[in-house]
Amino acid sequence: MISVALDGPAGAGKSTIAREAARRLGFLHVDTGALYRAIGLDALRRGGDPKDPAQVIPCLEETQITLDFAPEGQRIFLRGEDVSQAIRTPEASMAASAVSAMPEVRQFLLELQRDLARKHDVIMDGRDIGTVVLPGAAVKIFLTADPKERAMRRYKELVAKGEPVEFDTVLREVEERDYNDSHRAVAPLCQAEDAWLCDTTGLTLEGSIQAVVDHVRQKSGVTG
C-alpha cells in the first residue's frame, strides 16, 4: 500500500485538493480533520466546552464515529447520523482545534487512521500526518498559502453556502487556528523534515491539484 501524508494549516485547501488528487490517482482520500470536527461537534451538541478536557474526554467511550467512502467523497457519521455538512461550520472548526490539542482525543483516533492506511492506497490529509500518524509515508507534502488568501477561500466557501460571515472575522479565525495548531503541546502543526513544501498562493485550484498529483507520481512511481 502507498501512503501519502498531506499536512497544512486551516484553509490551505487540503481536503479539496487531496480528494481530487486521490480520485485521479485511484487512491482513497481520508480527511482526518473531519474526525476531529465530529468530536468537536459532539461536545458542542452536549452543551459542553470543547476546550475543557473534563467535559470532552469522558465522552469519548460513547462517541461512535464511522467513515463511508462513496464515489462522491468521504462521509462521516456520528452515532449513525451523517454529519458531513454539520461539521463544516466555523463553530465546529474552532471546536475541532480545541479538542485536537488533547492527547486522549488524538490517541482515540490514531489507530483508526493508521488502519485505513494499512488497508488502502491513501492520501490522508491533516495537520500531523507526516510527523505523527504516518511518519513512514512514502510521500509527504506540506500544503500552505498566505493567510489572507486562505481566509478569502474560506470566506467565499461560507458565502456560497449562505452563511452570514464577514471576511475580517474569517481571517481572524484562520490566524487564531494557525496559532493554536502550531503551538499546542501535542503533535503541533509543523512541516516534516522530509516533506515537500507546496505553496499554492496565487495558484488556481487546478494548478494546485496537478502539482500534488505530479509530485505523488514522481515520488511513488504511480502512473494512474
pLDDT tens sequence across 21-39: 999 999 999 999 899 999 9
Q: What pLDDT was estimated at residue 44?
A: 93
Left if phi > 0, otherwise alpha if psi is -120 to 50, otherwise beta: which for 29? beta
Q: Report d(CA 31, CA 65) in Å as an integer.
A: 13
Residue 113 has pLDDT above 70, yes or no: yes
DSSP 8-class letter at 192: -
Question: Rounded CA gap, 136 and 132, in Å?
Answer: 9
Asked if 178 contacts 147 with a C-beta cutoff of 8 angstroms, the reply is yes
72 pLDDT higher than 80: no
Mean pLDDT across 49-71 = 90
- Quick check: 121 and 74 in contact, CB under 8 A? no
- Please give the share of the chain, as a percent, with pLDDT higher than 90: 67
Taking residues 8-21, what's their average pLDDT? Answer: 90
Tell whether the model's pLDDT for residue 8 goes beyond 70.
Answer: yes
What pLDDT shows up at residue 177? 86
DSSP bridge partners of 124:
5, 30
CA-CA distances (angstroms) from residue 32 to 149, 156, 167, 218? 23, 23, 26, 24
Mean pLDDT (whole number) for 165-176 = 93
Q: Give CA angle at 37 (203, 191), nearest 5°.
A: 45
Average pLDDT score, the chain: 91
User: According to the model, what pLDDT value does residue 224 have?
Assistant: 64
| 54: enclosing H helix or E strand | helix 53-56
Q: What is the pLDDT of residue 74?
A: 86
User: Rounded to whole angstroms, how far apart are CA atoms 52 and 48?
Assistant: 8
What is this structure's pTM? 0.81
User: Which pLDDT belongs to residue 149?
Assistant: 93
pLDDT for residue 102: 93
Query: Has residue 180 got a pLDDT over 70?
Result: yes
Using the predicted structure, report yes or no on whether residue 223 has a pLDDT greater than 80.
no
